[in-house]
């Protein structure tokens, strides 16, 4: 088995690109299902990143295991970012997807895409991508509440709301998302070892 770094130099063939596309489709579907569990309930909307992280781990790790090269994770980030942007999600989410896709690629690449802890770490980082659409609530509360209310009269009301809700919600969201991502990644690793490696389905 040669190292991933050497392989990466050869670039992505049509087969790798098609595999990446199929995995992106699966990732997308699982992300949607994970978010939809929470989307119909307005109170639970902040759980959405955790829900998405909980379901997508196995697919992400399968993509890394199947195409252990630089590129697929960046493509995953870019394609998801385009889909999110054109469906009118908050633009910072798309930025997060691209940036975290690149970061995830570098983290997994540091272990030649074969180091299990690094692959899991890469997924944990990437799973924080939906935070992009929520982070504004903390980075720029006034801007975000202006964006939410668009009426000057409600500004004071929004401010108190942001002040009371913000402090514990962000760390809780990040913590919960990471916990769900870790659980998902561990299940995914187990599945890959038990079924996919034995069947010779990983590269």
Distance in Å, CB of 59 to other proteins, minimum: 7
Question: How many residues bind other proteins, per CB under 8 A?
Answer: 56
Instruction: Provide the 3-class DSSP secondary structure of residue 37.
Output: coil
Print the binding letters for residues 53-92 with other proteins: x by CB under 8 A, - otherwise.
-----xx--x---x----x---x--xx--x--xxxxxxx-
Nearer to other proteins, 115 or 202 (CB): 202
CA-based torsion, 103, 56, 188, 21: positive or negative: negative
Binding residues for other proteins restricted to 114-153, rule: CB under 8 A: 133-134, 137, 147-148, 150
Can residue 156 be called a binding residue for other proteins (CB under 8 A)? Answer: no
Print the binding letters for residues 20-59 with other proteins: x by CB under 8 A, - otherwise.
xxxxxxx-xx---------x--xxxxx-----------xx
Distance in Å, CB of 169 to other proteins, minimum: 8
CA-based torsion, 82, 84, 90, 93: positive or negative: negative
Distance in Å, CB of 62 to other proteins, minimum: 5
Picking from 166, 90, 183, the residue whose alpha carbon sits closest to that of residue 130 is 90
- Segment contacting other proteins by CB under 8 A, of 101-109, 118-126, 173-181, 183-191: 183-191
Picking from 34, 70, 24, 53, the residue whose alpha carbon sits closest to that of residue 120 is 53
Distance in Å, CB of 124 to other proteins, minimum: 19
- Say if CB 60 and CB 53 are below 8 A apart: no
Can residue 181 be called a binding residue for other proteins (CB under 8 A)? Answer: no
What is the Cα–Cα distance from 27 to 60, expressed in whole angstroms? 7
- Cβ-Cβ contacts under 8 Å for 122 (sequence gap 6 or more): 64, 73, 103, 104, 105, 107, 108
φ/ψ region of 11 (left if φ > 0, alpha if ψ in -120 to 50, else beta) reads left
Picking from 100, 4, 90, 91, the residue whose alpha carbon sits closest to that of residue 60 is 100
Binding footprint of other proteins on the chain (CB under 8 A): 12-15, 17-26, 28-29, 39, 42-46, 58-59, 62, 66, 71, 75, 78-79, 82, 85-91, 133-134, 137, 147-148, 150, 157, 161-162, 164-165, 187-188, 191, 195-196, 199, 201
């Amino acid at each position: 088995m040669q190292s991933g770094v050497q392989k990466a130099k050869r670039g992505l063939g049509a087969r790798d690109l098609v595999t990446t596309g199929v995995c992106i489709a699966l990732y997308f579907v699982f992300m949607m299902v994970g978010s939809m569990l929470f989307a119909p309930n307005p109170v639970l909307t902040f759980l959405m990143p955790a829900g998405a992280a909980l379901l997508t781990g196995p697919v992400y790790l399968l993509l890394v295991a199947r195409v252990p090269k630089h590129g697929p994770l960046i493509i995953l980030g870019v394609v998801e970012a385009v889909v999110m942007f054109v469906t009118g999600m908050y633009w910072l989410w798309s930025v997060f997807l691209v940036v975290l896709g690149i970061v995830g690629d570098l983290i997994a690449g540091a272990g030649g895409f074969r180091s299990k802890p690094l692959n899991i770490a890469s997924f944990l980082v990437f799973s924080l991508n939906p935070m992009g659409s929520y982070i504004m609530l903390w980075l720029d509360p006034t801007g975000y509440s202006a964006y939410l209310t668009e009426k000057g009269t409600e500004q004071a009301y929004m401010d108190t709301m942001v002040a009371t809700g913000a402090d514990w919600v962000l760390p809780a969201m990040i913590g919960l998302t990471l916990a769900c991502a870790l659980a998902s990644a561990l299940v995914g690793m187990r599945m890959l070892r038990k079924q996919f490696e034995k069947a010779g389905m990983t590269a």
